[in-house]
């Protein structure tokens, strides 16, 4: 069994509210959510950062990010959508598996994100995931 929490989510060993999945990528709600609609987009393969992936996988992650970000905008209509990523021990990371945080933002949120984040609970995460999945389907239909 892997010790990496995101590898365990990919393997289905830890529950997650998944919004998108393809051959290279999985996107799910962050349990430590800063704002409603906060999604983590992660690679399926264990790699610490984007530049440890092969180019095709890196491109696939980019494509998933674009789709998921647009679906979050459609579902939550935030005033901003921030993209955060850091990697490695020296960046204070706890999970060493490439992931991007997509955080819906409001004008009065302030510059710094609140941390530790709130834990909205599984029902709330599932409801947020369902709203994003619906928006993804609508966007796919419109393509
Ligand atoms: P960091 O390495 O600081 O980017 O933190 C890892 C991120 O993963 C944090 O935002 C956590 O809230 C999030 N996280 C950790 N465990 C889980 C999990 N089981 N499901 C969803 N998100 C998680
Ligand atoms: Zn991993």
Whether residue 115 has its Cβ less than 6 Å from ligand 1: no
pTM equals 0.95
Q: Which pLDDT score is estimated for 112?
A: 81
Q: Which pLDDT score is estimated for 59?
A: 96
Whether residue 113 has its Cβ less than 6 Å from ligand 1: no
Q: Which pLDDT score is estimated for 11?
A: 97
- 3-state SS of 66-108 is HHHHHHHHHHHCCCEEEEECCCCHHHCCCCCCCEEEEEEECHH
Look at the block and give the residue holding tokens 């393969």: 45
Q: Starting from the CA of residue 88, give the closest ligand.
A: 1
β-bridge mates for residue 101, sequence order: 40, 84
Q: Which pLDDT score is estimated for 36?
A: 95
Q: Which pLDDT score is estimated for 143?
A: 66
């Amino acid at each position: 069994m892997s010790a990496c929490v995101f590898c365990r989510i990919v393997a289905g060993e830890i529950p997650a509210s998944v919004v998108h999945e393809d051959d290279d990528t999985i996107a799910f709600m962050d349990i430590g959510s800063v704002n409603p609609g906060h999604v983590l987009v992660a690679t399926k393969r264990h790699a610490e950062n984007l530049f440890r992936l092969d180019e095709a996988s890196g491109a696939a992650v980019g494509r998933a990010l674009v789709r998921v970000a647009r679906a979050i905008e459609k579902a939550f209509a935030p005033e901003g959508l921030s993209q955060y990523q850091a990697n490695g021990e020296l960046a204070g990371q706890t999970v060493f598996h490439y992931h991007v945080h997509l955080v819906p933002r409001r004008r009065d949120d302030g510059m710094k994100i609140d941390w530790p984040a709130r834990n909205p609970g599984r029902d709330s995460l599932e409801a947020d995931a369902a709203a994003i999945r619906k928006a993804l389907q609508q966007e796919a239909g419109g393509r």
